Structure 1
Amino acid sequence: MDYETITPEEFGASLRGLGLNLLVRDVRVEAAFLVSVFGMAAHRLSADFAIMVYGDQVMQLHADHTYAANPILGLVPESPPRGAGASLHLFDSDPDTVAARAEGAGGMILQPPTNKPHGLRECCILCPNGYAWVASRPLTEIERKAK
């Protein structure tokens, strides 16, 4: 699928399974953060919308104003964190690499890279829009034995 030329109707009709759409104050700022920190690709980037691709996963960013007629917008808090209670996991991102990139890209490290008992090395980063992004990868054999 060519995300740069697909029509909104074709794109919408192509979506399957679980979808992720984030409302953000500034689509370009959030897209730049996700590209810089997590290596995502941004498509159809505008002030209103972006298609973000992480591996083979697709998500969408919409500017707040595009939801003016949608009741969800009334639930979005004026100040961060917007996504309180939700954590967005990116399982194929190295937490150490991501943490090193995050602060320079406007993120705040909520939890530095840490080996977890559930077999993952993770870090949690709050993006400028207040969403908690969790970068994680499986623990190495050495890390598992070091517990």
Structure 2
Amino acid sequence: MDFETVSAEAFGASLRGLGLNLLVRDVLGTCKLLETVFDMQAHRKSADFAIVTYGSQVFQLHSDGTYASNPLLGLLPETPPRGAGIEIRLYDTDPDKAVKRAEQAGATILQAPTDKPHGLREAYILDHDGYAWVPSRPLHDTADGEVQNSD
């Protein structure tokens, strides 16, 4: 599917499984951060909307104005953060590289890259809307792709 030319109707009809829409104050600014820090690709970028890809995963960014008749808009806080309580986990992103890029992009590092007991090295990066992006990698990979615990 060509995300740059697909119609809204065809794109909407193609969506399956679990979907993610993030309401953000600045769609273009969020696109820039996601592209810079996580090597994501943003498509159909405008002040109101973007389709974002992370590997084979697709999600959407919407400005507040696009949700004018949506019941969710009334629940948004007047002041940040908006994203409290949600973690957006990026299992194919090196947390050390992402943190360096995030610092340069002006994002907030909530937790530096840390080896966790559940077998992942991960970091917590807050974007300007308060969403927690969690780049992570397995601590140890075996030849068959299974994670080995270090204990």
Structure-2 separation of matches of 1:25 and 1:13:
26
Residue 69 in structure 1 maps to residue 66 in structure 2: no
Q: State the partner residue of 2:106.
A: 106
Q: Which runs of 5+ in 1 are unaligned?
A: none
Between Structure 1 and Structure 2, the one with more helix by share is 1
Task: Show CA shifts across 1:3-61 (max 9, x none).
Answer: 00000000000000000000000100001000000000000000110000000000000
Q: How far is the alpha carbon of 1:144 from its aligned partner? A: 4.9
Q: Which runs of 5+ in 2 are unaligned?
A: 142-147
Q: How far is the alpha carbon of 1:104 from its aligned partner? A: 1.5
Moved >2 Å (runs of 4+): none
Residue 127 in structure 1 maps to residue 112 in structure 2: no
Structure-2 separation of matches of 1:82 and 1:3:
27
Q: State the partner residue of 2:42.
A: 42
Q: State the partner residue of 1:94.
A: 94
Q: Secondary structure at the match of 2:130?
A: coil
How many corresponding residue pairs?
A: 145
- Provide the aligned C-alpha RMSD in A: 1.3
Letter of the 1:64 counterpart: D
Structure-2 separation of matches of 1:144 and 1:106:
34
TM-score normalised per structure 1: 0.95
